[in-house]
């Protein structure tokens, strides 16, 4: 046995501050995976764009530049930044209400143009920051503050599958859906996020990573039960896996 001490420490890209996320929320996990990936790729100069949502303060947790966008407009802002500062790594970090509701137009057109940006889409099936309203990703039958009898597909339609939607377009080079509800899936999520950032670094084009995430507070569940609900309810509807990995 080696007497060498094992030291666990934060990624150099991570800031030292107390989290504002609720217990069991997986936004913080995704932040860490992004920071670790940037470090491992040798990226010292990245810009993250965050619109309205729980992750609006993402730049407080990482040693990188951050820009706030209006609700849903992160892909448009990221496009402008990347076209002006083409040598920078630009990340659009968005939630489900933001990316698929008010920002659906920006999402589709940035992907359709094949902008050389990385989009990290956190899907927790609800509006988190604004009070737990129904989102485009809310599951059938799921109760929210605006669907207190449960989401009724005959009335409001079925949840939108973002990866499948983006996959209908020709320009995106990388599309993958991952999850952060357990250790094995966190490792897979890290691999996907790093791949998406590497694609941008190499100038390959638009990459989209959807991360299934938890919102115990608005789901009304404990963290453990929230992880179980994600696995039992969300993953069957939002299957994990790679939809496109196109070498350019």
pLDDT of 217-245, one tens digit each? 999 999 999 999 999 999 999 999 999 99
Phi, psi of 14 (to 5 degrees): -85, 140
Instruction: Report the interhelical angle of 27-40 vs 183-201 (nearest 10°).
Output: 50
Whole-model pTM: value is 0.93
Closest among 139, 128, 79 to 107, alpha carbons compared: 79
Q: Which residues of the chain have pLDDT under 70?
A: 1-10, 248
pLDDT digits (tens, 9 = 90+) for 50-92: 988 888 889 889 999 999 999 999 999 999 999 999 999 999 9
Which domains, and CATH codes, for the chain? 27-245 (3.40.50.970)
77 CA to centre of own chain: 17
**pLDDT at site 2:** 52
- Give the burial string for 18-48 (b: 16+ CB within 10 Å, else e): eeebbebbbbbbbbbbbbbbbeeeebeebbb
């Amino acid at each position: 046995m080696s007497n060498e001490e094992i030291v666990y420490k934060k990624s150099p890209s991570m800031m030292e501050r107390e989290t504002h996320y609720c217990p069991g929320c997986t936004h913080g996990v995704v932040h860490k995976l992004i920071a670790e990936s940037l470090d491992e790729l040798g990226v010292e100069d990245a810009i993250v764009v965050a619109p309205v949502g729980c992750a609006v303060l993402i730049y407080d947790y990482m040693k990188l530049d951050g820009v706030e966008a209006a609700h849903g407009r992160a892909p448009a802002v990221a496009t402008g930044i990347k076209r002006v500062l083409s040598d920078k790594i630009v990340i659009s970090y968005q939630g489900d209400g933001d990316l698929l509701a008010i920002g659906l137009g920006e999402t589709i057109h940035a992907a359709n143009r094949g902008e050389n940006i990385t989009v990290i889409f956190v899907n927790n099936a609800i509006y988190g920051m604004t009070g737990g309203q129904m989102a485009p990703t809310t599951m059938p039958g799921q109760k929210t503050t605006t669907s207190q009898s449960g989401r009724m597909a005959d009335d409001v339609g079925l949840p939108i599958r973002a990866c499948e939607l983006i996959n209908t377009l020709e320009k995106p080079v990388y599309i993958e859906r991952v999850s952060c509800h357990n250790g094995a899936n966190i490792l897979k999520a890290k691999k996907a996020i790093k791949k998406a950032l590497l694609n941008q670094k190499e100038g390959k084009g638009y990459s989209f990573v959807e991360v299934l995430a938890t919102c115990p507070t608005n789901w009304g569940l404990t963290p453990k039960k929230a992880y179980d609900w994600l696995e039992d309810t969300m993953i069957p509807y939002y299957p994990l896996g790679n939809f496109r990995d196109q070498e350019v």
